């Protein structure tokens, strides 16, 4: 936290500086965190209508969970923030039209936790304990047939995060 606070706010391409975080929550101009910014861009590019939708974000980190929740609120979604200790988590997630998962647990979200036609954004990057291969926080193979949109891991949110990092770098330079 001390290192992040020591960075000049105008050069904070990650959007983690306390003044950028405060500005985000106050709806002031700021550098947006890359992954949440990328998620919103992905949803819009996929033609997903965010306004009026029920969104559930599993994860409450300062890097993804909380900022993406705020950006979804800014797009007029009704947002529920959940986590691994949320009671009846499957019941909560089944009510989501947009589900963002950033919990850091391989294949944590199973098919029975997702509504048919839901948009599923998997932010997690983990190693599958059985195969050793990269996997996300959702069980992609089981959920893909029932989701209207789902992001793969690898190759989903990660590349958008990098694009937004480059965009933030250019914006901070200018």
Using CA atoms, how far residue 57 sits from 39, 42, 80, 123, in Å, is 12, 16, 6, 10
Q: Where are the domains of the chain?
A: 33-173
Yes or no: say if 100 and 81 are a contact pair by the CB < 8 Å rule: no
Q: What is the DSSP letter of 30?
A: -
pLDDT digits (tens, 9 = 90+) for 70-116: 999 999 999 999 998 999 999 999 999 999 999 999 999 999 999 99
Would you state the structure tokens that stand for residue 73, as one six-digit string? Answer: 């609120």
Domain 33-173 in CATH 3.40.50.720: yes
What is the value of pTM for the model shown? 0.95
Token code pair at residue 115:
């509504």
CB 112 within 8 A of CB 129: no
């Amino acid at each position: 936290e001390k290192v992040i606070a020591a960075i000049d706010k105008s050069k904070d391409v990650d959007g983690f500086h306390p003044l950028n975080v405060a500005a985000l929550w106050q709806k002031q101009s700021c550098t947006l965190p890359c992954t949440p910014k990328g998620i919103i861009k992905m949803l819009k590019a996929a033609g997903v209508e965010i306004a009026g939708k029920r969104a559930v974000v599993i994860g409450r980190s300062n890097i993804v969970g909380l900022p993406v929740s705020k950006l979804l609120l800014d797009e007029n979604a009704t947002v529920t923030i959940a986590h691994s200790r949320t009671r009846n988590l499957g019941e909560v997630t089944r009510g989501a039209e947009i589900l963002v998962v950033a919990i850091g647990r391989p294949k944590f979200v199973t098919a029975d936790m997702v509504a048919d036609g839901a948009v599923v954004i998997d932010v997690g990057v983990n190693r599958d304990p059985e195969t050793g291969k990269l996997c996300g926080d959702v069980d992609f193979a089981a959920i893909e047939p029932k989701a209207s949109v789902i992001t793969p891991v690898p190759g989903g949110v990660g590349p958008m995060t990098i694009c937004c990092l480059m965009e933030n770098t250019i914006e901070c330079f200018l």
